């Protein structure tokens, strides 16, 4: 029914837009839908300011086959998926990565950091002599507690305690 400034439809009745009724809006009694049923993309454009998606609980972005891509959990985590498998999530104390995390510099030739269940791998630029350093609270050479140089040598500062054989 049509009122002066409102359009009322019963549950499961659809508003169809476009020459081929490509865009539909409807409510099925439980859920509301905006559906692009034709060819082309569906754009939500907020080009004059921000675009805000707001929900009473969670916001989910899913790809084909209803695979999870991003879940924003109300009062909780943000979860990021790869091929429907959770790879990154925020927690109350930081972030949790499932699998490997690779941190790379803007140029592949300047090295990077990989943290995985197999260990921590740090590569430096070939122009630096340091391959890996553990610092004791600072960022200068005097703060280095353990230094592994790219030439294979290692430097340890302070007391070294070993249990077992050192070869």
Reported as a single tens digit per residue, the pLDDT across 46-77 is 777 888 888 889 999 999 889 999 999 999 99
Identify the pLDDT of residue 5: 79
Top mean-pLDDT range of 7-11, 84-88, 161-165: 84-88
Do β-strands 23-27 and 14-17 pair in parallel, antiparallel, or remain unpaired?
A: antiparallel
Contacts of 166 (CB under 8 A, 6+ apart): none
Looking from the CA of 138 toward its CB, the CA atoms found within 13 Å total 6
79 pLDDT band (50/70/90 cuts)? very high
What SS3 string covers 5-16?
CCECCCCCCEEE
Quote the tokens at residue 41.
């993309």
User: pLDDT of 83-93, one tens digit each?
Assistant: 999 999 999 98
Q: How far apart, in Å, are the Cα atoms of 27 and each of 15, 21, 63, 113?
A: 10, 17, 22, 49
Which pTM value belongs to this model?
Answer: 0.62
């Amino acid at each position: 029914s049509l009122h002066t400034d409102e359009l009322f439809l019963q549950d499961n009745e659809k508003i169809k837009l476009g020459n081929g009724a490509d865009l539909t809006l409807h409510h099925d009694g439980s859920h509301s839908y905006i559906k692009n049923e034709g060819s082309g993309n569906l754009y939500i454009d907020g080009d004059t300011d921000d675009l805000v998606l707001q929900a009473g609980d969670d916001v989910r972005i899913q790809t084909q086959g209803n695979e999870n891509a991003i879940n924003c959990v109300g009062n909780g985590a943000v979860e990021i998926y790869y091929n429907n498998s959770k790879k990154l999530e925020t927690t109350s104390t930081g972030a949790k990565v499932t699998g490997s995390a690779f941190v790379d510099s803007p140029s592949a030739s300047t090295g990077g950091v990989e943290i995985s269940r197999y260990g921590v791998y740090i590569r430096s630029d070939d122009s630096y002599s340091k391959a890996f350093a553990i610092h004791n609270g600072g960022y200068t050479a005097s703060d280095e507690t353990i230094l592994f140089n790219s030439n294979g040598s290692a430097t340890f500062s302070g007391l070294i305690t070993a249990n077992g054989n050192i070869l």
